[in-house]
Amino acid sequence: MFQIDAMSRTPMYEQIKEQLEKFILNGTIAPGEQIPSVRSLSLQLSINPNTILKAYSELDTQGIIYSVPGKGYFVCENALDIVSAAKYDKLDELSAVLADMALAGIPKEEILQRVNKAYTKHDR
């Protein structure tokens, strides 16, 4: 399920967060469902438990998952809304990137093609 690249420039705990958020968005994990325990995911990925815990703790703080001591971690009911809202917050970053690309002379058509491609993958 999870796949971590230890050589990546983005920290492992960030990769875990991103992947879990993606699983929530695409329905791989539903609200209320339990996610892999700190120790089991630690073993599965050959990663230190503290690294998993760091990812889970931050997701907990964001209100995306919650912990039940002795039982495990579960996806919050409103997790989808929170993750979506976080993506909205990145729109300004997107605008900055687009401005850069426009300045670099990348054709608008090239961008529009990519937008269309991204938005046709779910219309079915």
List interacting residues with a second copy (CB under 8 A). Answer: 22, 25-26, 83-84, 87-88, 90-91, 94-95, 97-106, 108, 110-112, 114-115, 117-119, 121-122
Q: CB-wise, 4 or 80, nearer to a second copy?
A: 80
Instruction: Using the CB atoms, write b or e for 103-115: b if 16+ within 10 Å.
Output: eeeeeeeeeeeee
Q: How many CA atoms lie within 13 A of 46 on its CB side?
A: 4
Instruction: Write down the least CB distance from residue 9 to a second copy, Å.
Output: 12
Q: CB-wise, 38 or 83, nearer to DNA?
A: 38
Partners of 34 in beta bridges = 74
